Structure 1
Amino acid sequence: MNENDLKRYTVILDNGSGILFQPLDEAKTYILSAKHVFYDEVSNDNAEDTKKIKATAKYYFSDSQNDANEIEIINGQNYFEHPDDEIDAAILILDEALGFDQIFIDERTTGFEDFNLTGFPENKRESEDQYDKQIIRDLNSYNDKLITLRLVVNHLDHEQIAGFSGGGIIKINSDSLLLAGIQSKTPIGPCNGEIQVVPIKRFEEIVELNNLPQLLPNFFSKIDLLLCSIIEFNQTTPNLQPKLQGALRIQSRQIKCDLKEVYNRKILNKSAIKANSLSSKQFWTSFLEYALIISLIEDGEFNEELLNKMSKKRKFIFSDSSKNIYDMYSDILLFAADNIDDQCQVIVGTMIPPSTNKTRRMSTDRVPTNISSINDDETIDRITLRNKIKEIIHIKAIELDCINENDNLLDQFSLGQFNEILTEIKRLVNEFFNN
C-alpha cells in the first residue's frame, strides 16, 4: 500500500466524500460517509428550512473523477444511517464487488500519528485532480459520538475544508489501510486546524442494528496485532519474558490460517457459544492462542486441514460468559459434544481467565452429576456423545500451569537461544496434554 491507495479508496460523493470498504460479503461494497451528505435542504417560505433525503446520489472514483455513477437511494435497502440525530454517519451499499478489500476498521481513541484526512475539497472541484489529503497532527478530545482532531495545517478556511465531509481518517498499515473514522460536517468559517470525526464504532452500530455484513476489524489484517497480547507473559518473571516471546514469535510462523478467510467461510461458527462472539477481538485472540498451542503439540504448520483434524481430538470452544468456569461446564459440555473422537480434550477460551489451576483444568469425571444428567433439552444420544469428552482445559492453563510452572527450567537458557527454548516448550506442552 502507498499514498495512491489512500486516494484510490476515497470517492467523490455529490458535494462531499466517502470511503470504499468491502465488508464480509464479497458481493457488496460499502461507501461510508457522513449522513448529511445524503440530504438536500428544502426552503420553506413561512417556516424554517428543512432537510430531506436525496432520491439519488452520484459518486465518482478517484481514477475517473468526471465520470458519474448514479444510484437510487432506498432507505432501509441500500442506504442505512445512524438513528441518533447527533451522529453524522451513514452507509450506502453498492451491489458489486469492486476489490476494495484491503481496508480494515481501527477503533482507536488515541495515537492518530500517521493518519490522514482524505477527500475532495470544494476548492479543488474545478481542478483536473480534485483529491486532497490533510495530515493529522494529534488528538484534541474524544467521546463516544465525536473525535476532535488537529491537522498539521492550522489555517484552513471553510472553502478549503468543505467537501472533505464523509472523507476518511485513514492510514497506511504496510499492505493494508486502517480506517478510524469519517469526518463530520465542516464548520462554517476557519477551522483553525480542528476537524470533527465520527468514530468508526458508530458505523459498526449501523451494521449491527440493520443486520448488515460486518466491517472487517484491523486484527484480521495481521496476526501480530493479536499475537502481542497472547505472548505478554505478564505473570512470568521479567528475565524470562523476552526469551519466551522470542521463541513463540518463531513458532507463530507456523500458523498458516488466514483469519479473514476463516471468518468469511464460517469455519468457526460452531466454536462460539454465542454467535456475536465471532466479531469480538477476544474470540480471535483465543483462537490464535489455540492455533499456537496446537502447532506446538503437533510440531508443524497449523492450517485448515489440521484445524479440522483437531476439532475432533482437541476441540476449541469460546464463551463470553462471566460465569465461574464450573458454572459454564453445562454449556460447554452440551456445545462441544458433536463430531468428536473418544477422549476428546476441549480447550476453552473466555473473556476472564479462571484464577486457580483447579478451575483451569477439569476432568469430566469430576463434573457434578446434576450437570450431566438428562433433562428436557437432552437425549440419550447427546449424553453418549458428551461422555466422549475426557476433560476441559482453559486455554490460559497452558501458560499459567505449564510454562510458568517450569520457569526455572526455561530460564536456564540464555537470551537468543530461542530454538532451544522452543524445543523445551514443545516438550512441556506435550507432557501437559498427555498427562
Structure 2
Amino acid sequence: MTTIIDDIKAHTILVENGSGVLVQPMDESHTYILTAKHVIEIAKDSKTYKGAENISARRADGTEFTVRSVHIHPDIDAALLALDFIGNITIPLSLTAPKRGDKVIVCGSPTKRRNENIDSVREFDGIIKRYGATDWELFAESHVDYEEVVGISGGGLFLEQNDSAFLLGVETSISGLRDIENTNRIEGVTLKAFQEILLFARGEGFALPDLLPLHLGSFSSSISSTFDLRDGTDPETVAFVRKVLHGVAKKLIDNNAPQPLAIKKGYESRLLISGRDLDELLDQKLWASYLEYLIISTIVDDKDQVSIDYILELNGRRRFFYASTDGSWTTLLQNVFKSDLMGLRKSGRIIIATKGTASRACPNQITLKSIIPDISRADLGDYRIDSIFKSFEEADFKIMHIAGMAQECIIDKEHEFQKFDNTSISELVSKLKAEFNEFL
C-alpha cells in the first residue's frame, strides 16, 4: 500500500540539476512540470533559459520526459514545462492558502544523493512562516545540511490533509551561504505564479489548459469511478447493471450535461457538509458521487438531459453534500444539519457522499432522533434552513448515503436483476427507477 510520501515522490521530477513536480491540468492535451526558472538557466544569473529540446526531465527511476514548450514568468522565479499527456498524475492542487504554523512537506532531489547513487528523492518537514499571493516562506522542523538541499529547487511544497497531499507551490531558494553548515529557512512560489504564466502563454498564442484537475473538465473521466458496487455474490449481474448505469451517464454527457467546473463555480462550499475544507471540492470522489446523484435523479425523474436549470430545480427536492472522509458517515450528521439547507422543501432528501462506503442507505432512526437539533432554542446563525420550519421534525428531511442507497437497491437485490440482458435494458432501467424511488 502506497503512502502519502510515496505519492509525493512519484510526482517529483529531476529537472536539469534541480527538481520539479508533475501536475495534470484540466484536459488531456498536456501534462505540466512546475519548477523554478533558475533551474533551466543556460548559465547562473544569465537570465537566459534553455529551450525545450535542451532540457533534461526525468523521474528518479530514469523515466525521461520530452519537454514540448517552456514558459517563464517574467518577474518571479517560476517556470512551467509543457509535456504531452502522461496519465495517472493524481496530486491535487490546493484551493486554500495554508495558515502560519501549518505543517507542510517539501520534496525534491538533492544533487548529493544523485551523485551518491542512493534514493535521490528526499522530503523535508516544515512549518509555514508566511504564505503570500505569489511567494511563501517556511522553517524546516530541524536544521539540515546545506549539501542535503542543493538540487531541491523546483520541488513541490505539499500540505497533508484528509489522507491526501495537496500541492501549494514549488521551492526556489534556501537561506544561508554555502559555507554555513546548517540552514532551516526555505522559500518558494505559490501556484498563483504558474496561473500567471498560463495567462502570459495564452497571450503568446499557446493553447494551454487551466491548472485544475482533469475531472473538473468533464464528467467523462469520472464515469469509471461511479457505482463501485461491492460484496455481491453474482459479479456478472452486478457488472451488467453497472454497465447500464454507465450508459446512462454517457448519454447525459452526450446531451451536454454541465461540466463539473460550472457546477463547482455555481455552488462552491454549498456542495460540502458544514465545516469541511474547500480543497475537498477538488476531490475526484466528490465528482464521481455527484455524477451518481445525477444518474439516479434522472432515472427517477424520467430525464435524459441535465441542465443548470434542472440542477437548480433538483435542489428544492434533493440536496447533495460531500465530505472527504473514510470514517463512519453517521458521525457527520450534526454538521449535516448545519449545512446549507435553504430552499430544500418539506420532506426533501439529503444525499450524503463520502470517500467511505456504507452498507445501509439511512441512519438508525434512534441515532438520528438523538442528534436532531432544536432550532427553536438554537442560535439561528448556526443553521441554514428556511424560516417556515419551526423544527427539523416539521421539515421532515430524509437523510441517506448514496453508496448505501446503491447497496440496498442493487447488491441486496441482485437476484432480481439476473433476468435482464441486452434485450431488456429499458426494463432494467425501469426496475432501477422503482428501487431508487423508494428512497427519493
The reply to whether TM is greater than 0.5 is yes
Structure-2 residue corresponding to 1:228: 224
CA distance in 2, matches of 1:188, 1:396: 46
Q: 1:425–1:354: structure 2 CA closer, same or farther, 3 Å change rule?
A: closer
- Say whether residues 1:249 and 2:266 are aligned partners: no
CA distance in 1, matches of 2:349, 2:114: 65
Superposition deviation, residue 316 in structure 1? 0.5
CA distance in 2, matches of 1:411, 1:235: 16
CA distance in 1, matches of 2:415, 2:19: 58
Q: 1:172–1:40: structure 2 CA closer, same or farther, 3 Å change rule?
A: closer
CA distance in 2, matches of 1:35, 1:296: 51
Q: State the TM-score, normalizing by the size of structure 1.
A: 0.55
CA distance in 1, matches of 2:113, 2:413: 64
How many residues were matched structurally?
Answer: 308
Amino acid in structure 2 at the alignment position of 1:172: F
Contact 1:169 1:179 in 2 (8 A): no
Superposition deviation, residue 350 in structure 1? 1.6
- Say whether residues 1:204 and 2:116 are aligned partners: no
- Say whether residues 1:148 and 2:151 are aligned partners: no
Instruction: Give the alignment partner of residue 370 of structure 2, picking from 368, 371, 375.
Output: 368
Contact 1:402 1:428 in 2 (8 A): yes
Partner SS for 2:399: strand
Report which stretch shifted further, 221-230 or 271-280. 221-230
Superposition deviation, residue 357 in structure 1? 4.8
Superposition deviation, residue 248 in structure 1? 0.9
Structure-1 residue corresponding to 2:395: 388
Instruction: Give the alignment partner of residue 34 of structure 2, picking from 10, 29, 32.
Output: 32
Amino acid in structure 2 at the alignment position of 1:276: D
Q: 1:305–1:358: structure 2 CA closer, same or farther, 3 Å change rule?
A: closer
Superposition deviation, residue 385 in structure 1? 7.0
Q: State the TM-score, normalizing by the size of structure 2.
A: 0.55
- Say whether residues 1:217 and 2:213 are aligned partners: yes
Contact 2:409 2:436 in 1 (8 A): yes
CA distance in 1, matches of 2:20, 2:191: 21
Contact 1:347 1:394 in 2 (8 A): yes
Partner SS for 2:297: helix
Amino acid in structure 1 at the alignment position of 2:62: R
CA distance in 2, matches of 1:23, 1:385: 45
Structure-2 residue corresponding to 1:68: none
Contact 1:272 1:318 in 2 (8 A): yes
Amino acid in structure 1 at the alignment position of 2:369: V
Amino acid in structure 1 at the alignment position of 2:395: K
Structural RMSD (CA): 4.9
Q: 1:189–1:225: structure 2 CA closer, same or farther, 3 Å change rule?
A: closer
CA distance in 2, matches of 1:354, 1:20: 34
Q: 1:225–1:258: structure 2 CA closer, same or farther, 3 Å change rule?
A: same
Amino acid in structure 2 at the alignment position of 1:352: G
Superposition deviation, residue 285 in structure 1? 2.1
Instruction: Give the alignment partner of residue 311 of structure 1, picking from 315, 319, 334.
Output: 315
Contact 2:20 2:33 in 1 (8 A): yes
Superposition deviation, residue 420 in structure 1? 3.2
- Say whether residues 1:345 and 2:370 are aligned partners: no
Contact 2:41 2:47 in 1 (8 A): no
Contact 1:257 1:303 in 2 (8 A): yes
Give the % identical residues: 18
Instruction: Give the alignment partner of residue 121 of structure 1, picking from 54, 59, 75.
Output: 54
- Say whether residues 1:424 and 2:425 are aligned partners: no
Structure-1 residue corresponding to 2:259: 258
Instruction: Give the alignment partner of residue 398 of structure 1, picking from 369, 383, 405.
Output: 405
Instruction: Give the alignment partner of residue 408 of structure 1, picking from 395, 415, 418.
Output: 415
CA distance in 1, matches of 2:89, 2:48: 23
Superposition deviation, residue 369 in structure 1? 6.0
Partner SS for 2:411: helix
Q: Deviation digits for residues 225-260 of structure 1, max 9, x if unmatched?
A: 322121332223212122112211210021412113
Superposition deviation, residue 327 in structure 1? 3.2
Q: 1:280–1:209: structure 2 CA closer, same or farther, 3 Å change rule?
A: farther
Superposition deviation, residue 296 in structure 1? 1.4
CA distance in 1, matches of 2:432, 2:414: 10
Structure-2 residue corresponding to 1:299: 302
Amino acid in structure 1 at the alignment position of 2:373: I
Contact 2:36 2:79 in 1 (8 A): yes
Partner SS for 2:236: coil
Amino acid in structure 1 at the alignment position of 2:53: F
Q: Deviation digits for residues 171-227 of structure 1, max 9, x if unmatched?
A: 437xxx88679997999999x9x9989887858221899574793123234434322
Contact 1:398 1:429 in 2 (8 A): yes
Q: 1:323–1:231: structure 2 CA closer, same or farther, 3 Å change rule?
A: closer
